[in-house]
Structure 1
Amino acid sequence: MSMIIERLAVIGVGLIGGSFARALREAGTVGAIVGIDTDRSNLEQALSLGIVDEIAPDAAQGVRDAQVVFVSVPVCAIPAVVREIAPFLPAGCIVSDGGSVKTAVVQECEALMPPGCAFVGGHPIAGTEHSGAGAAFASLFNGKRCILTPTRDTDAGACDTMARLWRSAGANVCSMEPGHHDRIFAEISHLPHVVAYALVHAVGTADVEGENVLSYTAGGFRDFTRIASSDPVMWRDIALMNRTALLASIDGFSASLAELRQRIDRSDPAGLAEFFTIAKQFRDGIL
Structure 2
Amino acid sequence: MAGKQAEAIGKLVVIGVGLIGGSVACGARQRRLCQETIGVVRDAETARLAVEAGVVDRACLNIEEVAPKLGEGDLVMVAVPTLAVEEVLRQLQVCLSSEVTVTDGASVKGSVAEAARRVYGLLPAQLVLGHPIAGSEKSGVSAANPNLYVDHRVILTPTAETGAGHLARVRQLWQGLEAEVVDMPIAEHDDVLGATSHLPHAIAYSLVDTLAHDIDNPNIFRYAAGGFRDFTRIASSDPVMWHDIMKANRHAVVHSLDQFMDNLTRLRAAIERSDGDYLLQMFTRAKTARDCYTRLSSPNDETPE
Fold shared per TM-score above 0.5: yes
Correspondence 1:257 to 2:261: no
* Cα separation, 1, equivalents of 2:204 and 2:61: 38
Show the counterpart of 1:269.
Answer: 276
Counterpart contact for 1:63–1:69, Cα < 8 Å: no
The CA RMSD over aligned residues, in Å, is 1.8
Show the counterpart of 2:141.
Answer: 133
| One-letter amino acid of the structure 1 residue matched with residue 13 of structure 2 | A
Show the counterpart of 2:211.
Answer: 203
Show the counterpart of 1:227.
Answer: 234
With the length of structure 2 as denominator, give the TM-score of the two structures: 0.89
Show the counterpart of 2:289.
Answer: 282
Q: Deviations over 1:42-87 (max 9, x none)?
A: 2211111121111123121233323110000000001111111221
* Cα separation, 2, equivalents of 1:282 and 1:236: 29
Gaps of 5+ in 2: 1-6, 295-305
Report SS of the residue matched to 2:168. Answer: helix
With the length of structure 1 as denominator, give the TM-score of the two structures: 0.94
> Which fold has the larger relative contact order, with Cα–Cα distance below 8 Å and residues 6 or more apart in sequence?
2
Paired residues for 1:148-187 under 5 Å: 148-187=156-195
Gaps of 5+ in 1: none
> Which consecutive aligned stretches of 4+ in structure 1 deviate over 6 angstroms post-superposition?
none
Show the counterpart of 1:62.
Answer: 66
Report SS of the residue matched to 2:274. Answer: coil
Identity %: 40
Report SS of the residue matched to 2:178. Answer: coil
Cα gap change, 1:272 to 1:142, in 2 (>3 Å): same
Once the two structures are TM-superposed, the CA of residue 256 in structure 1 deviates from its matched residue by 0.9
Once the two structures are TM-superposed, the CA of residue 35 in structure 1 deviates from its matched residue by 0.8
Report SS of the residue matched to 1:195. Answer: helix
Report SS of the residue matched to 2:253. Answer: helix
| One-letter amino acid of the structure 2 residue matched with residue 62 of structure 1 | V
Cα gap change, 1:138 to 1:102, in 2 (>3 Å): same
Counterpart contact for 2:20–2:135, Cα < 8 Å: yes
Once the two structures are TM-superposed, the CA of residue 32 in structure 1 deviates from its matched residue by 0.8
Paired residues for 1:91-170 under 5 Å: 91-109=98-116, 112-113=119-120, 118-170=126-178
| One-letter amino acid of the structure 2 residue matched with residue 124 of structure 1 | P
Mean CA deviation greater in 33-42 or 237-246: 33-42
Counterpart contact for 2:125–2:162, Cα < 8 Å: no
Mean CA deviation greater in 274-283 or 3-12: 3-12
Mean CA deviation greater in 4-13 or 110-119: 110-119
- State the aligned residue count: 285
